[in-house]
Amino acid sequence: MVEVHYFARIAKLTIEETLKKMKAAGVDSCPGGGAEIFHPRVRRIICDHKVSGQIVAHTRTQSPRSGLALERDDAIRTRETEEERVDHLSSCASCRT
């Protein structure tokens, strides 16, 4: 998802336009790449230098709307509490609707 944001930024396109162009170019899915960590505390520890969780969530929400399959990302590491793991999976699920 961070790659989609990067492509959009350098091409000066919206996320939606970028995803549509990717689909037209033959891309058929957007698998997670490990930056799909949504809980703020865990994000600060693991990937604070990447785009925000809100941007990742927005991109994940737009992918299926653009016709790209979206794989659930279980980017759960050992630093989350049980509550944070549930929060992560819930966030992933809400991006699919």
DSSP secondary structure string, 2-46?
A: HHHHHHHHHHT--HHHHHHHHHHTT--EE---S-----HHHHHHH
What is the pLDDT at residue 76? 60
> What per-residue confidence (pLDDT) applies to 17?
95
- How far is it, in rounded angstroms, from Cα 38 to Cα 75? 10
pTM: 0.70
* Residue found under tokens 């336009």: 17
Instruction: Read off the pLDDT of residues 5-50 as tens digits, 9 standing for 90 and up.
Output: 899 999 999 999 999 999 999 998 887 665 567 778 887 887 778 8
Q: What is the pLDDT of residues 46-88, one digit of tens each?
A: 777 888 878 877 888 888 888 888 766 555 666 778 888 787 7
C-alpha 60/C-alpha 88 separation (Å) is 13
